[in-house]
Amino acid sequence: MAASSSADVKIPKSPVVILMIGMAGSGKSTLMHRMVVRLSKHKKVYTVNLDPAVRNLAYPVNIDIRDSVNYKEVMKHFGLGPNGAIMTSLNLFATKFDQVLNILNKRAENLDVVLIDTPGQIEVFNWSASGQIICDALAVSYPTIVCYVVDTARCVKPVTFMSNMLYACSILYKTKLPFIVSFNKIDVISHDFLKEWMEDFEKLGDALSRETSYVASLSKSMSLAMEEFYRNLRSVGVSAVTGAGGEDFEKAIQEACTEFQESYVPFLVEQRRDLEEKRKASVEEQMKTFERGLDRAKATNKRGRDTDLDQLGEDVQNLSIEERDYMMDCMD
């Protein structure tokens, strides 16, 4: 197989895709809303919601997973709890992610920023196939960056801060994408203490020493290893509610875009073909997993209690991702 050349890798400068990732309640959707309001003043913004279980969103959505996948149906048919149904719904949606790309490709010329909201189940992005499929599909097409949202107020507990940062670290290494940690909710408490902990691991060690749990001593022993990660980490303090830190956030996006072009594109030159083959294999695997799940569900429902399973199988095969036209009209 011929090696890829830089001529094979043409990533336009825009639109910039920003994936909002973070633990449940960290403020991803609120920050999305804040950014839509702020950025729309001087940029063409497009939004995608990948959280199948969210009830209300304050921002206008252009592509919404809830229009294609009904997670309550997935829960019912597969006998899953809410978490499992969210993961399965996202896996199904990911198998059709090419349709999202097609829509974006059509709109790309007229867009500056694509903001993507994700579910609080952040394991999607450090071990589930769907996170990888989505990140790779986006990153081979557009400058793509991860905005990792952290609830600053909850991080006053140093073990919570450590566990958040371990997640961030694993997502960074998994996606390899430029990364911005957004310490959100600085209207409640300033993130200065977190900056100190990241700059001086002894200070974090002292804070952890005040706790006696096993997790605290584990965190303490890992804090030195995290120093390298913190050293190269881009972070900003923001408040999705008041809008504080918006300027820093925009600056961080600019820097991350430069990093994408300087560091990620050379990686793509080497890996693009490999990434795309892996993505296709992953999509096929997800479809097979879905079909196996469907067969299992049919076997347990053979007395005909659930007659919708054939329909569900058909719906997923034909799953169609549409954009909400009226929103695009509003933004035009």
Ligand X SMILES: Nc1nc2c(ncn2[C@@H]2O[C@H](COP(=O)(O)OP(=O)(O)OP(=O)(O)O)[C@@H](O)[C@H]2O)c(=O)[nH]1
Query: For ligand X, which is the closer residue by CB, 187 or 248?
Result: 187
In the range 108-147, which residues lie near ligand X by CB under 6 A?
Answer: 119-120
Smallest gap from Cβ 25 to ligand X, in A, equals: 5
Query: For ligand X, which is the closer residue by CB, 184 or 286?
Result: 184
Binds ligand X (CB under 6 A): choice among 98, 112, 123, 187: 187
Smallest gap from Cβ 237 to ligand X, in A, equals: 10
Q: Which residue has the tokens 């991350």?
A: 256
| 22 lies in the site for ligand X, by CB under 6 A | yes
Binds ligand X (CB under 6 A): choice among 74, 240, 253, 283: 240
| 82 lies in the site for ligand X, by CB under 6 A | no
3-state helix/strand/coil string of the chain = CCCCCHHHCCCCCCCEEEEEEECCCCCHHHHHHHHHHHHCCCCCEEEEECCCCCCCCCCCCCEEHHHCCCHHHHHHHHCCCHHHHHHHHHHHHHHCHHHHHHHHHHHHHHCCEEEEECCCCCHHHHCCHHHHHHHHHHHCCCCEEEEEEEECHHHHCHHHHHHHHHHHHHHHHHHCCCEEEEEECCCCCCCHHHHHHHHCHHHHHHHHHCCCCHHHHHHHHHHCCCHHHHHCCEEEECCCCCCCCHHHHHHHHHHHHHHHHHHHHHHHHHHHHHHHHHHHHHHHHHHHHHHHHHHHHHHHCCCCCCCCHHHHHHHHHCCCCCECHHHHHHHC
| 184 lies in the site for ligand X, by CB under 6 A | yes
Binds ligand X (CB under 6 A): choice among 21, 35, 39, 54: 54
| 67 lies in the site for ligand X, by CB under 6 A | no
| 182 lies in the site for ligand X, by CB under 6 A | no
Binds ligand X (CB under 6 A): choice among 17, 26, 89, 290: 26
Binds ligand X (CB under 6 A): choice among 27, 52, 131, 143: 27
Smallest gap from Cβ 141 to ligand X, in A, equals: 25
Query: For ligand X, which is the closer residue by CB, 185 or 220?
Result: 185
Binds ligand X (CB under 6 A): choice among 12, 13, 24, 284: 24
- What do you get for the CA distance between the two ends of the chain, in Å? 44
| 66 lies in the site for ligand X, by CB under 6 A | no
Among the listed ranges 76-84, 168-176, 233-241, 256-264, the one in contact with ligand X (CB under 6 A) is: 233-241
Q: Which residues contact ligand X (rule: CB under 6 A)? A: 22, 24-30, 51, 54, 119-120, 184-185, 187-188, 239-241
